[in-house]
Amino acid sequence: MDLSTRLKHIIVDVPDFPKPGILFKDITPIFDDPKTCALITQHIVETFPDIDAIAGIESRGFFWGMLVAQVLEIPFIPIRKAGKLPRPTLSQSYALEYGTATLEIHQDTIQPGTNVLIHDDLLATGGTAFAAAQLVNQVGHCVGFSFLVELAFLEGRQRLEEFTIPVDAIAIY
């Protein structure tokens, strides 16, 4: 069974979470399967072998972002919601359906010219990933996006096309 099919068998659909009408893709059952965790890590490493750092979007982007950083022996950069990092930060605000949100990284975490892969668990509308790339590009170069799951009907991949860099998702719904 290929990795995409494997993930689709493991990920659990949770209806009406976090609010009515939403079908939530729960990736936490993957953690019960060390082999699948290793295959995900291997997939990302093989898809993006020539990166200088990997940035994981809070919080589920931290899981495989950190594992890939360990395997490739490169820095891991946490991208966090505003106010969560203790030292001086760079920030990028972006529009939500109702209001705005802000992402931050430490000012000194990316050296100029660093090639950075952005990783998160899920690509939906692409707004958060788009803002993360803008944030990374303030100092370094976003060279790709990696996701476990893509909700293709929300057209997030199209939103990221502006960056003209690879977008990889393992399980596409």
Beta strands in the chain (DSSP E): 12-15, 23-26, 53-57, 76-81, 89-95, 100-106, 115-123, 141-150, 167-172
- The catalytic position among 46, 73, 87, 97 is 97
User: In the numeric block, which tokens belong to residue 14?
Assistant: 């949770």
| Nearest alpha-carbon partner for 129 in 149, 162, 156, 158 | 156
Q: Which of the residues 58, 60, 157, 161 is marked catalytic?
A: 60
Judge residue 4's burial from the number of C-beta atoms within 10 Å of its C-beta, 0-12 exposed, 13-18 middle, 19 or more buried.
middle
Q: Is 80 a catalytic residue?
A: no
CA 80 – CA 141 distance, rounded (Å)? 18
- Residues 105 and 41: beta-carbon distance below 8 Å: no
6 is catalytic: no
Give the integer Cα–Cα distance in Å for 166 and 47: 9
Instruction: Provide the sign of the torsion angle of the four alpha carbons 132, 52, 121, 157, taken in this order.
Output: positive
The residues annotated with a catalytic role in the active site are 60, 97
